[in-house]
């Protein structure tokens, strides 16, 4: 009995811990599309759109008024049968690339996207040069008599 109760409490606790991840800012179920597939697609698009009021949240996560309006617009477009790219383009034409949480691949963002590869190549090159130089360096000159005597003194017991 007690074990069962403990188990139940554990399950309830875990469920509680899991809920925050499930909660979206959609504060009114009437906002959601009736078709679950379309709703899922609208949420996926919304998760890629920056809330321009809070700036570091997606419109699906934000409870700002503008985010709510933009969620509605996304759902209108999805319900009309537009694909993700069309909805994204509609938003970008009004709010600019800033509204994308994931920057688009373009000449302006080339350096940004290439940076991980460039950094890795740079690191490999540095390491290669470093080891090659160390391997090529001549061995240090042998110790002089004075140095030998000093070393013997220092290591003596």
Partner 1 sequence: MTTPSDNLTRRRLLMALPLAGAGVAGVAFWKMLDGMEHGSFNPHDINAPVLDRPVPDFTLAPLPPAEGFTTQNLQQLDKPVLVNFFASWCIPCLAEMPTLMTLKDKLTMWGIAYKDKPENTASFLRHSGNPFTRLGDDHTGRAGIEWGISGVPETFLVGAGGIIRWHTAAPLTDQTINKVLLPLVQRLQTP
Question: What is the smallest separation between the CB atom of 97 and partner 1, expressed in angstroms?
Answer: 8
Question: Of the two residues 47 and 73, which places its CB atom closer to partner 1 in the complex?
Answer: 73
Question: What is the smallest separation between the CB atom of 82 and partner 1, expressed in angstroms?
Answer: 16
Q: What are φ and ψ of residue 43, in 5° steps?
A: -65, -40
Question: What is the smallest separation between the CB atom of 12 and partner 1, expressed in angstroms?
Answer: 41
DSSP secondary structure letters along 127-154? HHHHHHHHHHSPPPPPPPHHHHHHHHHH
Residues that bind partner 1 (CB under 8 A): 52-53, 55, 65-66, 69-70, 73, 92-98
Nearest to 98 by CA among 63, 62, 49: 49
Say how far apart CA 27 and CA 40 lie, in whole Å: 16
Question: What is the smallest separation between the CB atom of 133 and partner 1, expressed in angstroms?
Answer: 10
Degrees (nearest 5) of the Cα angle 118, 120, 123?
110
| Tokens of residue 39, six digits | 């709703």
| Tokens of residue 142, six digits | 């042998």
Question: Of the two residues 14 and 106, which places its CB atom closer to partner 1 in the complex?
Answer: 106
Question: Of the two residues 66 and 119, which places its CB atom closer to partner 1 in the complex?
Answer: 66
Compute CA 58 distance to the chain's CA centroid, rounded to the nearest angstrom: 13
Question: What is the smallest separation between the CB atom of 98 and partner 1, expressed in angstroms?
Answer: 6
Question: Of the two residues 47 and 52, which places its CB atom closer to partner 1 in the complex?
Answer: 52
Nearest to 45 by CA among 60, 56, 24: 60
Question: Of the two residues 53 and 112, which places its CB atom closer to partner 1 in the complex?
Answer: 53
């Amino acid at each position: 009995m007690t074990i069962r109760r403990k188990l139940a409490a554990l399950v309830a606790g875990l469920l509680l811990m899991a809920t925050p991840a499930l909660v979206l800012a959609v504060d009114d179920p009437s906002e959601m599309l009736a078709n679950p597939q379309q709703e899922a697609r609208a949420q996926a698009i919304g998760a890629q759109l920056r809330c321009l009021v809070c700036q570091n949240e997606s419109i699906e996560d934000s409870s700002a008024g503008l985010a709510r309006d933009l969620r509605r617009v996304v759902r209108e477009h999805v319900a009309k049968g537009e694909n993700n790219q069309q909805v994204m383009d509609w938003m970008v034409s009004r709010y600019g690339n800033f509204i994308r949480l994931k920057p688009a691949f373009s000449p302006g963002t080339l350096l940004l996207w290439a940076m991980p590869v460039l950094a890795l190549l740079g690191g490999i090159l540095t390491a290669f040069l470093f080891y090659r130089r160390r391997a090529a360096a001549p061995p240090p000159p042998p110790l002089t008599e004075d140095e030998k005597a000093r070393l013997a003194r220092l290591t003596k017991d």
